[in-house]
Amino acid sequence: MDIRKIKKLIELLDESGIAEIEIKEGEEAVRISRMPKGMPAPQYYAAPPMAAPAAAPVAAAPVAVAVAPAKASTENVVPSPMVGTFYAAASPTAKPFASVGDEVKPGQVLCIIEAMKMMNQIECDRAGKVTAVMVKNGDPVEFGQPLFVVE
């Protein structure tokens, strides 16, 4: 990828206030991420179901903090690799990709995260047993937010 394109993406990020962008061209990909100045570390919480999109963004108050089981360490958590909407199955009537008690293996699809009208399959990076699903179907998720605990 041309360095001029990357510099232009950085400029666009600065001008727009977007925190992260990922671009793929064929086999090449680049992800640019930054935390806006003065922004505190992300706080993960379960937000109420979202209604139709509003004309202007409205900040929602935290409803409940999602806490991993006490025995789960961070190495057993499968985090969200992006911001989007969590879907446990390929369609509303389909069986979830992974449920509590399921044995999973590396490369197995755990869920789908919809980001910018793109459906992204999230795969497991290790073998084990799903001991917790930290998000409900249709919930918005943040980058790095715990999705599953696999032990």
What element of type H or E holds 3?
helix 3-16
Could you report the per-residue pLDDT of 78-101, keeping only the tens digit for each?
999 999 999 999 888 899 999 999
pTM (global) more than 0.75: no
Sequence ranges of the domains in the chain: 3-33, 65-150
Q: How far apart are CA 126 and CA 98, in angstroms?
A: 14
pLDDT of 70 above 50? no
> What is the dotted CATH code of the domain comprising 65-150?
2.40.50.100
In eight-state DSSP terms, residue 33 is E
